[in-house]
Amino acid sequence: MPVDEKPAAGQPTTERVKGIFTNIAPSYDLFNILSSFGIDRLWRRSTVRLARPDHKSVMLDLAAGTGDLTMAFARLGKPASILSTDFVPEMLEVGKKKAAAYDGPTKIEFEVVDAQDLPFDDAKFDIVTIAFGVRNLPDRAANFREVQRVLKPGGRYVILEFTTPPSPFVRWFYHMYLRVVIPNLGGLLTGDKPSFQYLNDSIRAFPTQLALGAELHAAGFSRVNWHNLTFGIVAVHIAEV
């Protein structure tokens, strides 16, 4: 894209997304807790339950940010290992501190990785996860191809993401909250209101649960299904290879 051409509202570009998360890394966790009233913890717990890891599972967490989903899996799911990855090192640094305080059985490692171009051998992982990350990828098709390649046969891609509440009433409140509260709260905590305006727009521009399910299916995943959480504000999609 020419440098003088601005991406559309809610449209992710690598530069835009890297810039936003580098900037908000120190206050990301606080923003998460305040903006979701702590409900994000319950969403991560549900994601672990739905992903069904066991003590032999080899896992990859993409766009892992400050590691909250990685740590929820380590504490509750106790897989054999989790590789926690993100393309913003400043976000992963926060996650490394959380992992340093963990003394459970799961081996946790960190690596700077772009979720659209995975530097791993074929058929390496049992479960790949991504929480609130897939919405920020400019090329979802590349991510879906790469995830299918690195999953073992029968492996699962587990996606936790903001979606579209089916009830018009809930949707109206939710969209008002996104439009009014998110940019102002984010701006207050980080001084970067436009980034939070983008996050709001990106949530509204993201496909519905049904459309994302169809996209996964068209990309070659099988047994695609999803579970709405908190009135469908977020959903967990599970797709198998």
Ligand X SMILES: C[S@@+](CC[C@H](N)C(=O)[O-])C[C@H]1O[C@@H](n2cnc3c(N)ncnc32)[C@H](O)[C@@H]1O
Residues that bind ligand X in the complex, under the rule CB under 6 A: 17, 21, 63-65, 68-69, 86-88, 91, 114-116, 131-133, 136-137
- HEC sequence for the chain: CCCCCCCCCCCCCHHHHHHHHHHHHHHHHHHHHHHHCCHHHHHHHHHHHHHCCCCCCEEEEECCCCCHHHHHHHHHHCCCEEEEEECCHHHHHHHHHHHHCCCCCCEEEEEECECCECCCCCCCEEEEEEECCHHHCCCHHHHHHHHHHHEEEEEEEEEEEECCCCCHHHHHHHHHHHHHHHHHHHHHHHCCHHHHHHHHHHHHHCCCHHHHHHHHHHCCCEEEEEEEEHHHCEEEEEEEC
Q: State in Å, rounded, how far the first CA of the chain is from the last one.
A: 34
Q: How far is the CB of 228 from ligand X (least distance, A)?
A: 18
The C-alpha atoms of residue 150 and residue 205 are separated, in whole angstroms, by: 28
The C-alpha atoms of residue 75 and residue 72 are separated, in whole angstroms, by: 5
Q: How far is the CB of 236 from ligand X (least distance, A)?
A: 12
Q: Nearest to ligand X by Cβ — which residue? A: 65
Nearer to ligand X, 159 or 216 (CB): 159
Nearer to ligand X, 118 or 239 (CB): 118
Q: How far is the CB of 199 from ligand X (least distance, A)?
A: 7
Nearer to ligand X, 87 or 226 (CB): 87
Q: How far is the CB of 72 from ligand X (least distance, A)?
A: 9
Nearer to ligand X, 159 or 239 (CB): 159
Residue 213: HSE in the Cβ half-sphere, 13 Å Cα cutoff: 15
Q: How far is the CB of 87 from ligand X (least distance, A)?
A: 4
Nearer to ligand X, 17 or 99 (CB): 17
Nearer to ligand X, 129 or 164 (CB): 129
Nearer to ligand X, 55 or 186 (CB): 186
